[in-house]
Amino acid sequence: MSRQLWLASQDTKLQDGFFVHTDFLQFILSGLTTGSIYALIALGFCVVSNTMGIVNFIQVDFVTLGGMFMFTSLFTLGLPALPALVLAVAAVALVAMVLERIGLRPARSANHLVLIFLTVGLSIILRGLIKLVWGTNRMALPPLSSDVPVQILGASVLPQALWIFGLTMLAIAVLTWFFHRTSLGLCMRAVAVNPTAAAVVGIASGRIRLTSYAIAGALGGLAGVLVTPITTLNYDVGVLLGLKGFAAAILGGFGSFPGAILGGLGLGLVESVSAGYLSSAYKDVVAFVLLLLVLCVRPKGLLGR
């Protein structure tokens, strides 16, 4: 082989290598973006699970509601992006607190099954209301900043994806601070560790439940605000995302905060990498088979207690 040909072949090899590398990065970034959203939703599930011991199915509608409030703040109230985001998240937190106060607490039940079915019912009612207020048509929500993609080492990422990473990290940091540094947060952890002992030392359970719903609502709402510019918005957009978030929470170990983050990112990555390298038709199959395998080996989830 002549030297020139050899060089040329090396060149294509290098180029191929470069393509393979950027593709991989593209899959990873795409997986991390969806994974962050799953993680936010999973965290919302965990907060309520830790204080009340139940699966809160209203979580999926908090996601939808976040997007809807964002839409209203932007287009009806005409607010700029960041104040609109804060308002939307706060509004969802408020709705969540109202639901806990008038929907769940009057049941005066400690029976988990009763409470879980109440959340299922409330979720259906809330979805019906969302449908009445905002209609059934798809809506487009603008991204928080421009939608010109950013190049990172050859892979292109939407600025919205960077917002998703950034604000998810911020939310996790604030949560960590709240649960370790504030008295309310410490009380909530106390309830999570031992509800009876917490009651004995006089921690009021009502306030804890209300706070946990507010946090769950805020997390779900934030996920909704961040993801709907990518997914488009309609009255049941949260259902499928919520299902994935729920799976992520189980994968990480239901109730564990680091587990929820790990589960969410893991699920997003597996989906995207298997769509890229195995088969796009079976990416959900791959993700859920992996979930089953993990649960077979570690029934409590990756980081479950």
Partner 1 sequence: MRTLLTCLAAFLLLTTPALAAETIKLGGFFDLSGRASFIGTPSKLVAEMLVEKINAQGGINGKKIELIIADTEGDPAKATTIATKFIHKDKVVAIIGPTLTDTGMSVKKIVDSGKTPIAMTVGGDPVIMGGKFGSYEWVFKSPQRSQTAVERLFTYLQEKGLTKIALLSADDGFGKDGLRWMEELAPNFGIELLIKESFGSRDTDMTPQLTKAKNAQPQAIVVWTTGPAGAITAKNAAQLGISLPLFQCHGLPDPKYIELAGAASEGNRMPATKLLIADELPDADPQKAIILDFIKLYTEKGYDKQFPINTHSGYAWDAIMLVVEGIRQAGTEPAALRQAMENIKNYVGISGIYNLSPEDHNGLGIDSMVMVQVKDGRFTLAD
- Enumerate binding residues for partner 1 (CB under 8 A): 19, 23, 26-27, 30, 33-34, 131, 135-138, 140, 147, 149, 156-158, 227, 230-232, 234, 236, 240-241, 272-273, 275-276, 280-281, 283-284
Return the number of the residue (105 or 283) whose C-beta is nearest partner 1: 283
Nearest distance in Å: CB 183, partner 1: 39
Please state, in angstroms and rounded to a whole number, the distance separating the CA atoms of residues 235 and 65. Answer: 8
As a residue count, the chain comes to 305
Nearest distance in Å: CB 26, partner 1: 5
Return the number of the residue (116 or 236) whose C-beta is nearest partner 1: 236
Please state, in angstroms and rounded to a whole number, the distance separating the CA atoms of residues 65 and 95. Answer: 9
Please state, in angstroms and rounded to a whole number, the distance separating the CA atoms of residues 184 and 112. Answer: 24
Half-sphere exposure of 201 (CA within 13 A, CB side): 8
Nearest distance in Å: CB 207, partner 1: 36
- Full DSSP string of 77-146: S---HHHHHHHHHHHHHHHHHHHIIIIIGGG----HHHHHHHHHHHHHHHHHHHHHHH-SS-B----SS-
Token representation of residue 292: 């089953």
Nearest distance in Å: CB 85, partner 1: 19
Nearest distance in Å: CB 146, partner 1: 11
Burial 112-151 (b: 16+ CB within 10 A, else e): eeebbebbeebbeebbeebeeebeeeebebebbeeeeeee
Minimal CA–CA distance to 31: which of 147, 165, 173, 166? 165
Return the number of the residue (190 or 230) whose C-beta is nearest partner 1: 230
Return the number of the residue (34 or 123) whose C-beta is nearest partner 1: 34
Return the number of the residue (39 or 191) whose C-beta is nearest partner 1: 39
Nearest distance in Å: CB 60, partner 1: 13
Return the number of the residue (11 or 147) whose C-beta is nearest partner 1: 147
